[in-house]
Amino acid sequence: MRLGVIDVGSNTVHLLVVDAHPGASPVPRHSQRSTLRLMRYLDDDGAIVEEGQQKLVDAIREAAEAVDEIGVDDLMCTATSAIREAANGEEVLERITRETGVVLQVLSGDDEARITMLAVRRWFGWSAGEILLFDIGGGSFEIAQGADEYPDVQVSLPLGAGRSTVRFLRDDPPARDAVSALRAHARAAFTDVRERLFADRPTPTRVVGTSKTIRSLARLVGGPADPVTGAPAPIHYTGLREWEPTLREMPSEVRQYLPGITPERGYQILAGAIVLRTAMKVFDVSTLTVSPWALREGIVLRYMDALEGQPQR
C-alpha cells in the first residue's frame, strides 16, 4: 500500500510518500518540502496575511500535484500550530480546500505529542522503557512521557523555534538581552509544566528528541549520523552549551553554512538551541537521543494500526 502524508507546519509544507503494510516498517519512496516560515506572515492580531496565505496555497498545491503524479492509495493531510493558532485559521483552511482541493485535519498539540510518541516507541522498541520526549516544531514545543506507545502525560507550549525567533530574536544576530529574555521565558514555562505535570513521573530510561531542528542540532553538535543505521548522533548538554555562543554571534546567513544547518533553518536554529538547552537543563537531561521518526511516520503507523483493528487514542 502506498500512502502519502502532507504535513503543514509552521516552517514547511512537507510531503512524505511511503510504501507500507501492517506489521512492517514504512519504506520512504518520495519526500519534498517547501519552506514557508509562516511565523513571519502574522499580523499584530495573529492572523496569516495575504502573502503568507498565497505561499501556503502554492506549496500545498505543489504537494498535491506531486501526489497525483506519483499515485497513492490514500492521502492524509494535517496541519499543526501555525494554522491551529492563527486568528484566521478557519478562513485559511476554507481557502486551501477551495483552491487546492486538499482538506487539512488540524492536529491539537496533544495529538502531535501522542502521534510522535507512537513513532518514537516503534523506532526504539519496548526496551527503551520510560521515554521522555522533546519535539520542537516551528510554532510549538511538545513534551511527553510514558512507558507505552502513547504517553501518560503530554503538553504543548508556544515555544517553537520559529515562534521564539519572531517573538524574542528579531535582530540578526540578536542582542544578548534578547537571548536572556527568551531563556528566562522558556525556563519559567518548562519549570511550571515539570512541577505541575511531570513531577510524579518515573525517571526516564531514555530521553528522545525529534524534529528537523533537533536533527540539525545533532549534526552540528554531535557529528554525522551513524553510517549503518542512519540514526543521528546524540546531543550532549555540554556540547549544546559550547555551541550556543557561536550561533549567537553569527547572522543567520552565515549559520546556514554550518554542518547540518540548511538555509531555511539558519534563521531559527539559535532559538531552537536556546529552548532545547533550557528544556534539558530544567528536566535535568545530560544526553538526548535523536529519533529519525517523528510526526509524519507516526501518522502512517496509526493509519496502519487502524487497518489491523488496533485501538487508537
Q: Average pLDDT by consecutive 10-residue portion of the chain (313 residues)? A: 96 95 90 92 95 97 97 97 94 98 97 98 96 96 97 97 95 96 98 97 97 96 88 95 96 94 91 98 98 96 85 57
- 218 is a domain residue: yes
307 in any annotated domain: no
Q: Cβ neighbours of residue 276 under 8 Å, at least 6 residues apart? A: 134, 136, 209, 213, 214, 217, 235, 240, 288
Q: 276 and 197 in one domain?
A: yes
Q: Both 160 and 214 in a single domain?
A: yes
Q: Which of 44, 79, 106 is the last residue of a domain?
A: 106
pLDDT at 219: 96
Is residue 299 situated within a structural domain?
no
| Residue 93 shares a structural domain with residue 187 | no
Position 199 in a domain: yes
List the CATH number of the domain containing 211.
3.30.420.150
Does 134 fall in a domain?
A: yes
Tell the residue number behind the cell numbers 483552491, with chain if given.
99
Same domain for 143 and 276? yes
Instruction: Record the cell numbers describing residue 168, joined without a space.
Output: 524574542
Query: Domain holding 9: CATH number?
Result: 3.30.420.40
Element of type H or E holding 302: helix 295-308
Q: Are residues 261 and 235 in the same domain?
A: yes
Indicate whether 19 belongs to any domain: yes
Q: What pLDDT is attached to residue 22? A: 84
Within this chain, do residues 93 and 176 fall inside the same structural domain, yes or no?
no
Query: Is the dihedral angle over the CA atoms 266, 117, 130, 226 positive or is it negative?
Result: negative
Residue 300 belongs to a domain = no
Question: In the predicted model, what is the mean pLDDT of the chain?
Answer: 95
What pLDDT shows up at residue 185? 98
- What is the pLDDT, as a whole number, of residue 230? 80
pLDDT value of residue 209: 98
Do the strands 2-8 and 12-19 form a parallel or antiparallel pair, or are they unpaired?
A: antiparallel
Residue 311: predicted pLDDT: 56
- 44 part of a folded domain: yes
Q: Which domain holds residue 22?
A: 2-106
Is residue 140 located within the same domain as residue 90? no
Question: 196: Cβ–Cβ under 8 A, 6 or more apart, which residues?
Answer: none
Of 91, 106, 121, at which residue does a domain stop? Answer: 106
Residue 278 shares a structural domain with residue 147: yes
Check whether residue 138 and residue 266 sit in a common domain. yes
Q: Are residues 85 and 12 in the same domain?
A: yes
Q: How many domains does the chain have?
A: 2
Q: Are residues 152 and 78 in the same domain?
A: no
Same domain as 240, residue 157: yes
**Boundary residue ending a domain (79, 106, 133):** 106
Instruction: Check: CB of residue 194 under 8 Å from CB of residue 280.
Output: no
pTM for the model: 0.94
